[in-house]
Amino acid sequence: MRTLNVALGDRAYPIHIGRGLLDNASLILPHLKKPRVAIVTNEVVGPLYLARLRTALSNAGVSSTAVSLPDGEAHKDWQTLNLIFDALLGDRCERSTTLVALGGGVVGDMAGFAASAYQRGMPFIQVPTTLLSQVDSSVGGKTAINHPLGKNMIGAFYQPQLVLADTATLDTLPDQELKAGLAEVIKYGLIRDYAFFVWLEANIEKLLARDHDALVFAIERSCANKAEVVARDETEQGERALLNLGHTFGHAIEAGLGYGEWLHGEAVAAGAMMAAELSCRLGWISAAEVERIERIHRRAGLPVKGPALPVEQYLALMAGDKKVEDGRLRLILLRGIGRAVIHADAARADIGAAIAARCA
Ligand code: NAD
Ligand code: GLY
């Protein structure tokens, strides 16, 4: 097992990464206030892993209840969030009960938000079961639901007590979901870790083949990058925004097509290509670097162009992004591979041209 720390003072927490951790309740016990948990999962992950987790907890003397949500990004909304509150209240969960999110980023984001609000805050633990959630969404305390007018628009910063990433759960992950997770892995190389990008160029096929050592290395390196950024800028006053490379374009794709049409990671990949395209048009990176970025996404089985939505629709959706400040869109662009910057002065025409060049 590998362990990293998210250094947030008295709210610091460990990230454990390894095979079979789901059966090891002794990793969870030290983080519980009381031996009682409420598990939030969904209709796909529950049948695969819920019984195992509950058995491990029960053998360790921890009682558990569970609520299963409908699956998918289209259900990351108020109505589904309420199912969690219904269950917590119905089961008379207390503030000292720990909420456990067992699933991908959708379950983790919704369960985390529910934990932040239930009785004004209950402790929670992330047990991520997708590559994307193990490398990104389970770490850092961003929790949210979607609104029809914008992705992740209703939410809170709320840190977990623990992240338990059992890499064996990735065995059942569909290939398309694994590839979507790779978009966020590639992102770390692009924004701040050139050596990791080079490693990915040499090892992307191993990751696609689910080579265990390669996966553990990529998850650990991704989490290390994320933990470092989050520790320095927990609530995104500055540097943390870099983690959103490709996301402003990507969120427009997700909202524009309707949540769930494209996977989040797929939208991020196309969005990263739009950001690379714009960076190139500004003269910040070369065409050869854009080509290199495109190649790694292609090899990972990810889209390198967005869907054919009207450019005006992209721009309108992007204007509602959380990174808009005083009406100015702050984009994450590249000054090189491994060197992302926040840029608030891109001309609308240039942004539109980059989108048009990277639309199907
Ligand atoms: P997801 O949660 O929808 O999971 C993908 C699919 O895989 C779902 O159908 C799920 O039921 C299924 N699944 C999960 N684990 C499985 C397993 N082990 N075996 C088989 N099937 C499994 O999607 P995701 O890609 O994990 O997360 C995407 C979400 O994460 C988006 O809503 C995005 O906004 C959010 N996100 C949040 C942050 C953050 O910092 N909070 C960062 C990145 C992404
Ligand atoms: N995924 C962006 C962040 O956590 O800040």
Q: Is the torsion defined by CA of 310, 313, 314, 315 positive or negative?
A: positive
By C-alpha distance, which of 9, 40, 44 is closest to 174? 44
Q: Tell me the sheet residues that pair with 3.
A: 16
Two structure tokens written together for 24: 């090891």
Kindly list the distances between the CA atom of residue 227 and the CA atoms of 67, 92, 140, 220, 221, in Å, as whole numbers in the listed order.
Answer: 29, 34, 7, 10, 10
Q: Say if CB 37 and CB 97 are below 8 A apart.
A: yes
User: Does residue 149 have a pLDDT over 90?
Assistant: no
Q: What's the one-letter identity of residue 291? A: E
| Ligand 2 atom index nearest CA of 236 | 5
> Residue 323: which pLDDT band, with cuts at 50, 70 and 90?
confident
- Once rounded to an integer, what is the mean pLDDT over residues 89-104? 98
Residue 19 Cα to ligand 1 midpoint, Å, equals: 19
Q: What is the pLDDT of residue 320?
A: 81
Q: Say if CB 35 and CB 10 are below 8 A apart.
A: no
For residue 357, the SS3 value is: helix
**Which region holds residue 260: left if phi is over 0, alpha if psi is between -120 and 50, else beta?**
left
Mind telling me the catalytic residues? 120, 142, 184, 226, 236, 240, 244, 247, 251, 264
Q: What is the pLDDT of residue 52?
A: 98
Structural domains of the chain ordered from first start: 2-172 (3.40.50.1970), 175-357 (1.20.1090.10)
Q: What is the pLDDT of residue 325?
A: 75
- Once rounded to an integer, what is the mean pLDDT over residues 114-136? 98
214 Cβ below 6 A of ligand 1: no
Q: Which ligand is nearest to the CA of 133?
A: 1
> Residue 322: which pLDDT band, with cuts at 50, 70 and 90?
confident
CB atoms within 10 A of CB 156: 14
- Give percent of the chain above pLDDT 90: 95
Pocket of ligand 2, candidates 109, 136, 143: which has the most ligand atoms within 8 Å of its Cβ, to mutate? 136
d(CA 321, CA 152): 10
Greater pLDDT, 98 or 151: 98
73 Cβ below 6 A of ligand 1: yes
Beta strands in 136-216 (DSSP E): 142-147, 150-157, 162-166
User: Does residue 151 have a pLDDT over 90?
Assistant: no
pTM of model > 0.95: yes
Q: What is the pLDDT of residue 47?
A: 98
d(CA 336, CA 342): 13
Greater pLDDT, 325 or 299: 299
Q: Among the listed ranges 88-92, 251-255, 321-325, 348-352, which one has the minimum average pLDDT value?
A: 321-325
Residue 108 Cα to ligand 2 midpoint, Å, equals: 13
For residue 273, the SS3 value is: helix
Residue 345 Cα to ligand 1 midpoint, Å, equals: 33
157 Cβ below 6 A of ligand 2: no
User: Does residue 196 have a pLDDT over 90?
Assistant: yes
Residue 48 Cα to ligand 1 midpoint, Å, equals: 15
d(CA 260, CA 298): 21
User: Does residue 280 have a pLDDT over 80?
Assistant: yes
